[in-house]
Structure 1
C-alpha cells in the first residue's frame, strides 16, 4: 500500500453531498483516503508520497461490477449467437472440460479487462448461468482467487450448490483426472472450505458470497424432485450464509420468483442482492421493499432482451439498484461505462422519455449504490476520508470528450473503458498511463487462448467457433 497525492484533477467524491471539486487533491495514506482538499486548501504533507498529476482528468471512485460469472471471459461468442448452443457449451466446458488452469486463466483475463476499464471491484459467480456452481473441489475457487490476488483487484466470489437432482457429475483434470459424482452435501462442505480459506483475505480485498439457484416458477421439476426438496436445499444454503456472515445472492429472478423466495422459501434480507429481476410483479416489488434486498440490473444481458428489470420503478420505491455486466460472454464486456450508457438508453426507450435515469443516478449505480448492494458501502463506493483508496482517473483530453465543459456529463455519456488512465485499489497502482503493473498482459492473453483451446478440444466443441448461416446479408440468422 502506497502513500499517494493525486492532485490537479476534477474530484467526483460521490459522498452524501455529491461534491465535485475542480482542482482537488486526494491524499492517500496506508491504503486509505486520508483527506480530500480543494485547490486553495492546505493539508500536512503525506510522508514518502508518490505524486500523481491528474490534470485534465476526472478522479472517480473505482467502478463496481455487481454481477458477473467466472468462466465467461473464456467463452465469448461461442455458437455465433446461438443461445442454446452457447448455454450447452458452458455446461459441458464448466463441468467436464475445464481444469484449474482454465479457471485461473479466466480470472486473470477478466481481472485484466476490469483493471483497464477502471473496475476495481467485481462480483463473480463461480460458474455459468444460475445453475452450475463449480464447488466440487476447492481447487477451482483457489485457482480463481490466486489469479485475482496477483491482479490486485477487489473481488467477491459467489459459491453455492446446483439444482437437484443429485448427484452432479464433474471431471477432475487436476487430481485423479476422472469423473466424479458430487452430492448436495459435498457442495455445501466445499462452500464452507472456500469461505474459511478466502473470505477476508488480502486485508479484506477478497471475499466470498453464497448463492443458490432461483426457483423457476411454472417450469416442471425433474423426476424425483419436489418443490419441498428445492426449498429445503435453498434454506440450508441460506443458513450457511447466515452462519458464516456472508452476503447471499441469486441469479436470474423474474416474475413471481422474488415473492416466492421471500414468502415461501424465506431467503431474502438486507444482506441479499438479486440479479436480473425482469418482468416483476407487484408482489415481487413488495417483497424487495419488505426484505430490504437489493437488485442488480444487467442492461446488456440476454435476460434484458427477453424481459425488463423495472429499474426506475424500483428506485422510486426505495429499492437499492446496482448495475452488473453479467460478465463478458456471450456478447458484452466488463466495461461498466458501457453498461451505464446502455441502462440509460434502455429505460428511456421503454418510457419514450429522455428524462428517465439521469446520468448522475447511473454513476451512483456503479459506485455508491453498488457498494451498498454488496455490503461494502462503509469501505468503498465514494471518495471520503477513512475509506479504502479505490480510485480511477479518467482522461478527458480525448476528441470524443471535448469541449471541456460539463465534464461529468461528458464522461458518463461519451466515455468508454479505454479512457481510464489510472486504476488504484487499496492505494496500490494497478495501472498508470494505460500500462498495467500487476499483470503481464501478454502472458495473460496467451494463457487465456491456451485454456479455452484445451477445453474445446476436450469437449469436442470446436465447431462452435464456426460462423453460422445468416451472418451476412439478411435481417436475422437463418
Structure 2
C-alpha cells in the first residue's frame, strides 16, 4: 500500500457543492482519494509520503474531450492555409506514415498533455477529414503503449472512413498500396476494443467514431450510410463502449438522431451553427456536446454553449489537438471559451470561471460516464490530481482561485501530476527522456515531409 499526504494547497474540489478549501489536505491510498479536508481534520497516516503543496492550487486531473492522434506532427504546417493543412493530414495519415511516425507522435502528444495537467483525453486515431488509421491495429496499439508509458488515460476513438470504399492506403512499412474496406476497419475496431478497453485501470479505453453526415450528403446515399451506422452501433452495443463524432453543424445532430447515433453514450464535437432541432435532439437524447473554442470550426461557426447549458445539455471542453494552430493547454481553451461567448453576446457576465472549469473536469467525466470515478477531488474517486504552482506574478495576488485558473493560468504553471495515485510529474520533471521524445518527433516529421514532397509547407 502506498499513501500520499498532500498538504497546504487551495483545493478546487468540483464536488457537488463545488467546495473550495484553503490550506487543504488530500490523502491518497494506492489509486484512490481517501480523505479531503484540512490539516485540523485529517492526521498524517503512518508511513505516508508528504507532499508540501503550500502556494499551489489542487485541481482534479483535467479531461480533454476531443483531440486527434497524428496532429502533434502537423502543427503549423500550411501557415494558415487550411486547405493545405487538410491535404497534409490526408497524405500523412493514409500514405506517408510509418509505425515510427505513430509512435513518435503518440509520445510527443502524451508528453505535452502530461505537462499541461491533462490526465484523461479522448483521442481520435487520425482525422483531418475522417482519415482513420484502422486498416490494422498497429497504430492503435502504438498509441495505447505511449499512453501507458506516460501513465495517462486515453479514450482512443477508432472507426471507418467515409464512403466510397475501398480506400487507398499505403501500408505502415511503406512496402505496398492497400485497399481498405469498411468491414476491415470495423474488424480492427473490434480487435482494439478486445485488447485495450480498460480506461480506469490500464489507462486505455476504446470508443467508436464514424463520419458526420449533413442532410444533403445523406440524401445522396441513404441506404449505404444507414447500413454503416447500423453496423457501428451494433458493435458499440455489443461491447458497451462510447460513441463520438467530429464536426457536427447545422442540422447534422437532428439527422444523427434519426440514424440512431444519439444517446447518453454519445458525445459530439464542434457542433457549430446548430439548429433548434439539433439542440432539442441533443437534450431529448441526453447526448453531450464537446466545445472546441480554439478550433478552426469555431472560426467558421459558433457552438451555442451558454444556450445549451441553459437548456440542460451537458457540455465539455476539447482542445481539438495540437494542430494546426493550437495545443493541449486546457487553461488557454478555458480562457478562450469565456472570451469567445462574451464577445458574441457583448456581455462580460456570460459564462463564469467555475463553468469552464466544470467543462474540463466533472462535465467531461459525465461525458465518459465516469462522474463517480473521475472529475472531482472526492473520497472514493480515482486519484487524478493536478497541482498548479501559483507562486508567479501572473497568478498573484493569491485570491479568487477559480478566476486564477480559468483566466490567468497556463500549462507551464502545472507543477505536479498524479494519475491513478502515481506521481507522473513532480516539479515539472517526468520519468521519460524528454529530449529523446522531441528528437524522435522532429526526425519523423522530417521523414514524412520528404516522403510527400511537402517541405515547402515549412515556409512562413
Q: TM-score normalised to the size of structure 1?
A: 0.94
1:441 alignment partner in structure 2: 434
2:447 paired with 1:464: no
Which deviates further from its counterpart, 279-288 or 210-219? 210-219
| Among candidates 270, 282, 285, match of residue 276 of structure 2 | 282
Residue 217 of structure 1 and its aligned partner are, at CA, apart by: 3.0
Aligned 1:169-208 pairs, distance under 5 A: 169-174=168-173, 177-200=175-198, 203-208=201-206
Distance in 2 (alpha carbons) for counterparts of 1:375 and 1:355: 30
What is the CA deviation profile of residues 28-78 of structure 1, one whole-angstrom value per residue up to 9, with x for unaligned ones? 0011101112231134x4343221100000011011100000000110011
Distance in 2 (alpha carbons) for counterparts of 1:163 and 1:156: 22
Corresponding residue SS for 2:319: coil
Residue 172 of structure 1 and its aligned partner are, at CA, apart by: 1.1
For the 8 Å contact 1:214–1:257, the answer to whether it is kept is: yes
Which deviates further from its counterpart, 128-137 or 300-309? 128-137
For the 8 Å contact 1:130–1:214, the answer to whether it is kept is: no
Which deviates further from its counterpart, 363-372 or 235-244? 235-244
2:305 paired with 1:311: yes
For the 8 Å contact 1:3–1:31, the answer to whether it is kept is: no
Residue 20 of structure 1 and its aligned partner are, at CA, apart by: 1.0
For the 8 Å contact 1:217–1:256, the answer to whether it is kept is: yes
2:138 paired with 1:143: no
Corresponding residue SS for 2:23: strand
What is the CA deviation profile of residues 367-388 of structure 1, one whole-angstrom value per residue up to 9, with x for unaligned ones? 0001101222111100011100
Distance in 1 (alpha carbons) for counterparts of 2:123 and 2:97: 17
2:413 paired with 1:419: yes
For the 8 Å contact 1:396–1:407, the answer to whether it is kept is: no
| Among candidates 213, 216, 219, match of residue 214 of structure 2 | 216
Distance in 2 (alpha carbons) for counterparts of 1:284 and 1:204: 36
2:86 alignment partner in structure 1: 87
Corresponding residue SS for 1:66: strand
2:22 alignment partner in structure 1: 22
2:252 alignment partner in structure 1: 257
For the 8 Å contact 1:130–1:252, the answer to whether it is kept is: no
Aligned 1:348-367 pairs, distance under 5 A: 348-367=342-361
Give unpaired runs (5+ residues) of structure 1. Answer: 468-478
Residue 197 of structure 1 and its aligned partner are, at CA, apart by: 0.5
C-alpha RMSD over aligned residues: 1.4
2:35 alignment partner in structure 1: 35
Distance in 2 (alpha carbons) for counterparts of 1:407 and 1:138: 43
1:388 alignment partner in structure 2: 382
For the 8 Å contact 1:295–1:320, the answer to whether it is kept is: yes
Structure 2 CA distance for partners of 1:177 and 1:342, relative to 1, 3 Å = same
Corresponding residue SS for 2:58: strand
Give unpaired runs (5+ residues) of structure 2. Answer: none
Distance in 2 (alpha carbons) for counterparts of 1:119 and 1:202: 15
Distance in 1 (alpha carbons) for counterparts of 2:384 and 2:53: 15
Distance in 1 (alpha carbons) for counterparts of 2:40 and 2:57: 18
Structure 2 CA distance for partners of 1:226 and 1:42, relative to 1, 3 Å = closer
Residue 204 of structure 1 and its aligned partner are, at CA, apart by: 4.1
Residue 407 of structure 1 and its aligned partner are, at CA, apart by: 2.7
Distance in 1 (alpha carbons) for counterparts of 2:436 and 2:10: 35
Distance in 2 (alpha carbons) for counterparts of 1:255 and 1:356: 23
1:450 alignment partner in structure 2: 443
Distance in 2 (alpha carbons) for counterparts of 1:454 and 1:129: 20
Aligned 1:67-82 pairs, distance under 5 A: 67-82=66-81
Structure 2 CA distance for partners of 1:458 and 1:202, relative to 1, 3 Å = farther
Distance in 1 (alpha carbons) for counterparts of 2:93 and 2:204: 23
Distance in 2 (alpha carbons) for counterparts of 1:413 and 1:211: 32
Aligned 1:266-281 pairs, distance under 5 A: 266-281=260-275
What is the CA deviation profile of residues 126-157 of structure 1, one whole-angstrom value per residue up to 9, with x for unaligned ones? 00234111100111101111111101111110
How many residues are treated as equivalent by the alignment?
Answer: 460
Q: TM-score normalised to the size of structure 2?
A: 0.98
Distance in 1 (alpha carbons) for counterparts of 2:123 and 2:218: 28
Distance in 2 (alpha carbons) for counterparts of 1:204 and 1:17: 30
For the 8 Å contact 2:147–2:203, the answer to whether it is kept is: no
